Amino acid sequence: MDGKQPWNPARFINHSCTPNCEAEWDEGRIFIKALRDIKQGEELSFNYGYDMEDVLDHVCQCRTANCVGYIVAEEHWDEVRRLATLPKACTETVAAGNLPA
């Protein structure tokens, strides 16, 4: 499935911190690949893999046991969990674009 095409329903696949699919790039095109068998009627999902820029603007509501609270690539999960333990003033600093050390 090529999610780059406007006619393709792949563009409607939602984010999840525990996805059942993954996005693969191949020569400028995005393909959706199942990570496991998917039951009929089950929603397709993949990790959008956002970076830390504007992380607080992308709240995740997937509600899986693995959810880190924000739509962000897995390599940033430890950093996001650390930010969640900071006082509100620090998270406001992050929202302004300044990540604490």
Q: In which domain, by residue range, is 82 found?
A: 9-95
Look at residue 53 and tell me if it is in a domain.
Answer: yes
Alpha helices in the chain (DSSP H): 77-84, 88-95
Q: Which pLDDT score is estimated for 23?
A: 85
CATH code, 25: 2.170.270.10
Per-residue pLDDT of the chain (101 residues; tens, 9 = 90+): 555 677 777 778 889 999 999 988 888 887 889 999 999 999 999 998 899 988 888 999 999 998 999 999 999 999 988 887 766 544 454 555 555 54
On whether the pTM is more than 0.95, the answer is no
Look at residue 1 and tell me if it is in a domain.
Answer: no
Look at residue 4 and tell me if it is in a domain.
Answer: no
- Contact predicate 20/45, CB 8 Å: yes
Look at residue 3 and tell me if it is in a domain.
Answer: no
Residue identified by tokens 């739509």 is 71
